[in-house]
Amino acid sequence: MRYTKEHKQETRRRIVETAGRRLKRDGIDGSGVATLMKDAGLTNGTFYAYFASKDELVATVVADQLRTQHENIVARAAPGRAGLEQLIRWYFSAEQRDDVEDGCPNAALLDEIGRSTDRTRQAYTDGALVLVDGFATRLAPHDPPSARLKSLSLLGMMAGTLQLSRALTDRRLADQLLEQGIHNALALLAAEQHD
């Protein structure tokens, strides 16, 4: 039976979306093709009709996760520093920390992306720079390139703090770390105003 182009696109989209949640929860190395396809309600054999390898799927998922984070969070934030502060407060919330499957791909996958293929690392780099440029536009609206490095540093601070907060077993300490993350990120923004 031949499927329509729309059906094929929808099936591919379903694979990418369900794989995104699974990869963020179990990691890249902890998620095999069989599990990823089962999550999508498809057979292993179907996988190769859409992707040449798991590496291709991972690179596609990383790009999709970062694009989705940009479209749904960064692009919808208010303009200027108010929007950046809004993003910071959302990012360092307990809800964001506790929702690994639907949360930030940076905090969930960054350590594994650094050990991934060049294709995956390039997909990450491209997507991260879109996020960073969204930060920079809010940090320095009249000269975003001047704030790119500081925005990249902010992304690193945010992802690292969230990763550490997720790893701690002491819930009170983890919550305090998120509060300190807000304080540190806002201090970085305040320092930018005085540079």
The number of residues making up the chain comes to 195
Residue whose entry in the numeric block shows the structure tokens 């998120």 = 178
> In this structure, is the dihedral angle defined by the CA atoms of residues 173, 107, 92 and 143, taken in order, positive or negative?
positive
- CA 167 to chain centroid: 17
- Summary mean pLDDT of the chain: 93
Residue 195, pLDDT > 80, answer: no
pTM value > 0.75: yes
Phi-psi region of 140 (alpha: psi -120 to 50; beta: other; left: phi over 0): beta
**CATH code linked to domain 54-194:** 1.10.357.10
Place of tokens 């989705």: 68
Half-sphere exposure of 153 (CA within 13 A, CB side): 13
The whole-number average pLDDT for the span 80-94 is: 95
Express each pLDDT in 102-128 by its tens digit.
989 999 999 999 999 999 999 999 999
Q: Is-contact 28 36, C-beta < 8 A? A: no
Residue 115 to residues 59, 94, 101, 184, 193, Cα–Cα distance (Å): 13, 28, 21, 28, 36
Contacts of 108 (CB under 8 A, 6+ apart): 23, 24, 25, 100
The rounded radius of gyration (Å) of the Cα atoms in the chain is: 18
pLDDT tens, 146-174? 999 999 999 999 999 999 999 999 999 99
Q: Nearest to residue 180, comparing CAs of 169, 195, 164?
A: 164
Residue 192: per-residue pLDDT:
60
Supply the pLDDT for residue 7: 83
Name residue 110's amino acid: L
Separation CA 30–CA 14 (nearest Å): 20
By the 8 A CB rule, do 31 and 19 touch? yes
For residue 56, pLDDT beyond 70: yes
Task: Compute CA 43 distance to the chain's CA centroid, rounded to the nearest angstrom.
Answer: 27
For helices 54-69 and 105-113, angle between their N-to-C axes, nearest 10 degrees: 150
